[in-house]
Amino acid sequence: MYNWLTMKKRTAVYPGSFDPVTFGHLDIIDRASKIFDHVIVGVFVHSAKKHMFSLDQRVAMLKTALKGRKNVTVDCFEGLLVDYMKKKSSKLVIRGLRAISDLEYEFQIAAVNRTLSPEIETVFLMPRQRYTYLSSSIVRDIAHFRGDVSKLVPPHVSKAIAKLKR
């Protein structure tokens, strides 16, 4: 069993498709990096989603957005999160909760992960209030209709989206 009081390095994994990365994601990552010794941002391939950006592009965008954060690394994976967690020797999953509507889905995922790997704990973090409405889906929808996403994503991501819209 994982002991929160040990002096062992605490590595947490923040999984997601990050398609695209938003200021809400970055807020959760910043909060997590103050709590845990090491945060791995795990970009995964979501087989049911049609992605706006390739896996390599999403990883590159995150690395640019997170440059200079010493205890945060970006990685990618395919398959079950619990298998990835074992590979990374982590027992802590970070998930963001924007609104009560997220809770039911996130609770289900946390319960499934714990069923598959009982030692895994999920830590839920809430973003700052100004990001509670923000999701990658909303950014994609706005971008689809050629709307301005510059207040929702980092500048390099906004530029990449603008190139797609041409």
Catalytic residues: 25, 49, 98, 136
Residue 61's nearest CA partner among 139, 138, 124 is 139
Query: What is the H or E stretch that residue 143 is in?
Result: helix 136-144
CA neighbor of 122 nearest in space, from 13, 31, 17: 13
Spatial contact of 120 and 114, defined as CB atoms under 8 Å apart: yes
User: For residues 11 and 37, is the Cβ–Cβ distance under 8 A?
Assistant: yes
On whether the CB atoms of residues 52 and 19 are closer than 8 A, the answer is yes
